[in-house]
Structure 1
Amino acid sequence: MIEFSKYQGLGNDFILIDNRHQNTPVITPEQAVKMCDRHLGIGADGVIFALPGDEETDYTMRIFNADGSEPEMCGNGIRCLAKFIADLEQKHNVGHSYQIRTLGGIITPQLEAQGQVKVDMGVPTYQAQAIPTTLGTPEAEVINQPLVVADQTWSVTCVNMGNPHCVTFVEDVEKIPLAILGPQFEHHPAFPERINTEFIQVIRPDYLKMRVWERGAGMTLACGTGACAAVVAGVLTGMSESVCTVELPGGPLAIAWSSETGHIYMTGPAELVFKGNNLWK
């Protein structure tokens, strides 16, 4: 029997497991797929494990997507993990932060008032080899590069936020057939490790509207790293300001890219939905 907690951040939902007693996840990717099934399991976009930290960190984050794949990190997920840890420790002090190791580097979430969590997402990179992508030369920045998908040429900007993103700006995100285009972007030969894809509509330079297709999870209500990537791409292409509200189907995120430190900060909610026991292992 495995105890779990279900959390959500703007509708991006996760199964959280207390894995602090060992350094490897207590379930397999195949078991995670069953748990994430919305009809036959608990239902979630992924399973997140709170593992022990090391000499540099308080905790380690691992995550299995709904399809069993393992991403480097997850923006909405790390906010949910911070709230989960705060609940485990019974420490909810505003301003308290954690150093969390992810496969994408060390990330620092901080508890804020009114159920918000502010996350220092680190410094974005946008060279082709960092994505990775075959667009351009390995050292070149992938900004406004042409990409043919579904017999249409899209102007894309690629950003690594600890995980890979392909951002394209469109006139109306609601007219994008996301269920059709999303898989074609995700599995495009230009992205050997697959890709998260964001379609962005500029409402104002400080307000972006976004729809996302997540690698390994599909169409989700929110993506924190994707919102960060959208603002980075907006600044690089002159489409947006460095401090933006990003409106996702599940709600808004506050994103700020510091010109002084190069770090990008994401602030948004995370909340407990319910707790339970998974009787089958």
Structure 2
Amino acid sequence: MRFFKMNGCGNDFVIFDARAHGALQLSKDQARAIADREEGVGCDQVIAIERSIRGDAFMRIWNADGGEVTACGNASRCVASILLDERGDDGPVKIETLAGVLKAERTTLGQITVDMGSPLLKWEEIPIARAMDTERLDYEVDAGLFHLGHPGACNMGNPHAVFFVNDVKLAPVAVIGPRVETDPFFPDGVNVGFAQILSPERIKLRVWERGVGETKACGTGACAAVVAAHRAGLTSRTVTVELEGGDLVIEWKASDDRVLMTGPVELERVGDLLGAA
């Protein structure tokens, strides 16, 4: 089956075009084997493009640990780029996911903008274990000498907790990330963001992704960081988010509450992997 190896700001994917084959049946072991950077193709997530009756295509997502998840912002941009290249126009296209239908289009600068929908802000929508205000969770984690305050939380198709830090380079992401990800306080697990506010229009961000680990970029994490920062009065509604792999521009629109994510995509290669399904 043909696959595209692509990345969005360094967050990389093996994307199978399964539209001619029906649903792609991948076991956890198969997804892990494909994602393995030593023995497989190597990626953060495995993606399948399938047929859809609600959009131009249906996108399925497996994390590197083999678990299937509902949303990935950077993968949405990559899939949109494939669909737009096929059509030969700038869109929009509609991509159905387990989290809903996303609309995407190509900008005049060649980047991809995805309408990620409205953030879910109620405690039970994230979800967290008990009722509380999600702007500032009643939740703390011992980070030793590194100070971590109370995080904000939202769901951008998948759950996120965002800690605000003074220097993101020094944040103990590899230590705190997996502890928070698997804490029963977050019944479905959680993606963990560490955000440094540079100005009202700029954030520097690192993200420990649920089921993956730290990645070079996380699209839904960038959206969640801007939502959390604006709710806390730290930024405006349009923010450039600096990630290791590149910049994303996030706009949380006041007019309709929807979050727009704009950023680059890169096609690394096209290949064929028989026996993947």
TM interval, shorter chain, is over 0.9
For 1:200 and 1:71, the matched residues in 2 are separated by 23
Paired residues in the alignment total: 273
Query: Could you say which residue in structure 1 is the equivalent of 2:17?
Result: 18
The structural deviation recorded for 1:279 is 4.5
Per-residue CA deviations over 1:188-223 (Å, capped at 9, x if unaligned) read 110111000110000001100000000111110001
8 A Cα contact 1:92 1:111, kept in partner = no
Give SS of 1:154's match.
coil
Secondary structure of 1:142 counterpart: coil
In structure 1, what residue type is equivalent to 2:24? P
- Are positions 1:142 and 2:134 aligned together? yes
Alignment correspondent of 1:186: 181
State the 1:177 CA deviation.
Answer: 1.4
Distance 1:211 1:71 in 2: 20
Report Cα offsets for 1:91-137 as digits up to 9, x if no partner.
Answer: 3323x1111111111111112234310011111111110001014x1
Q: How does 1:230-249 map to 2 (within 5 A)?
A: 230-249=225-244
Q: Are the aligned partners of 1:69 and 1:216 in contact in 2 as well (CA < 8 Å)?
A: yes
Q: How big is each residue's C-alpha offset from its partner over 1:144-201, in whole Å with a ceiling of 9 and x where there is no partner? A: 1232323666311111111110011110101111111110010011011100011000
TM-score, structure 1 normalization: 0.93
Length-normalised TM-score, structure 2: 0.94
Give SS of 1:67's match: coil
Matched, 1:72 2:70: yes
Mind listing any 5+ residue stretches in structure 2 that lack a counterpart? Answer: none
Q: What is the rounded CA distance, in whole Å, between the counterparts of 1:199 and 1:151 in structure 2?
A: 13
Matched, 1:107 2:102: yes
Q: Which residue of 2 aligns with 1:92?
A: 88
Structure 2 CA distance for aligned equivalents of residues 38 and 175 of structure 1? 26
Q: Is 1:50–1:61's contact at 8 Å kept on the other side of the alignment?
A: yes
Could you tell me which residue of structure 2 aligns to residue 268 of structure 1? 263
For residues 1-41 of structure 1, give each alpha carbon's deviation from its aligned partner in whole angstroms, at most 9, with x where no partner exists: x3211000000000010111344224333211101100111
Provide structure 1 residue ranges, at least 5 long, that are not aligned to the other structure. none
Would you say the 8 A contact 1:19–1:26 is kept in 2? Answer: no
User: Aligned partners of 2:88 and 2:239: how far apart in 1?
Assistant: 27
Mapping for residues 1-281 of structure 1, pairs under 5 Å: 2-54=1-53, 56-87=54-85, 89=86, 91-94=87-90, 96-135=91-130, 137=131, 140-150=132-142, 154-279=149-274, 281=276
Which amino acid is 2:139 matched to? L
> Is the CA contact 1:208–1:245 (under 8 Å) kept in the aligned structure 2?
yes
| Residue identity in the other structure for 1:186 | E
Whole-Å Cα distance in 2 between the matches of residues 244 and 148 of structure 1? 26
Shift of 1:276: 1.2
Distance 1:23 1:64 in 2: 17
**SS of the counterpart of 2:150?**
strand
Cα RMSD over matched residues? 1.5
In the alignment, the residues of structure 2 paired with residue 115 and residue 44 of structure 1 have an alpha-carbon distance, to the nearest angstrom, of: 24
User: CA contact under 8 A between 1:83 and 1:271: conserved in structure 2?
Assistant: no
Letter in 2 for 1:246: V
Partner AA of 1:12 in structure 2: N
CA contact (8 A) 2:4 2:271 kept: yes
C-alpha distance in 2, partners of 1:172/1:146? 23
Structure 1 residue identity aligned to 2:247? P
Whole-Å Cα distance in 2 between the matches of residues 103 and 278 of structure 1?
25
What fraction of aligned residue pairs are identical, expressed as a percent? Answer: 41
